[in-house]
Amino acid sequence: MGGWWNDFRGALGFLTVVPVGAGCAFRPERMAGFFPLVGLFVGLIVAGVDWMARLLWPDPLAAAIVVLTLVAITGALHVDGLADAGDGLFSHRSREQVLAIMKDSRVGVMGVVCLIGVFALKWGAVQALSADRFLALALVPAYSRLGMLAGMRWLPYGRPEGGTGAAFCGSAASLRMFWSAGLLLPVSMLLGWQGLVLNLVFVSACAGILFFYSRIIGCITGDTLGAMNEVLEAVLWLFLAVQVL
């Protein structure tokens, strides 16, 4: 039990700014499987913030607070990846140049456009959520981090010199790390038919993003994993916000 708890704390400390204390060994091959559970933890916090915010403010402002809470609790880790990935992937350069652009700490126009676009979609989708709002807010960050595992598993890591995501990809990325998917699937069924379709949308979105990465650079990096997380959150909330007449 102590090993599992330490690995969860390690994943929590890696993906968020939540203090986890000392004594966590850095074991990427074990920590990665806990990423979706960290996402669920983040989602529960976000759902709680949303509930409190809606008691005080109108839905549009509460939705903005939700989006900013996600950025704050993750220390802008994934947002930084989205900006860098946007600059590189939409630069229409060679693979080597794209990877070099993503490594540059400066943010360009395409990075800003991607940030504004994804933030706007999240903001609009969150305020449009109605039925099962708390569960939808809690589940989506877990699924988006499950998607990151797919990137680690099915695309090679693109920086031989190493990087933020290097320790989690390659030989460390085994199918065993997807065990948390078995926990998310039954919970998603609490959403009824939307839960079933949510899983189909999730698989399709993951496949589409990985195909796009494969076509442009043929690999995965820490930045593109962060971008994948942000895009998946936007896509899945957009789906759950669909109003069926």
CA distance linking residue 206 with residue 212, whole number of Å: 10
Span of 26-30, 95-99, 161-165, 220-224 with lowest mean pLDDT = 161-165
Instruction: Quick: pLDDT tens for 104-159.
Output: 989 999 999 999 999 999 999 999 998 799 999 999 999 999 999 999 999 999 88
Which of residues 245 and 219 earns the better pLDDT score? Answer: 219
pLDDT computed for residue 173 by the predictor: 64
Q: Where are the domains of the chain?
A: 29-240
> Does the global pTM surpass 0.85?
yes
Instruction: Quick: pLDDT tens for 197-230.
Output: 999 999 999 999 999 999 999 999 999 999 999 9
Q: Is residue 245 pLDDT above 50, yes or no?
A: no
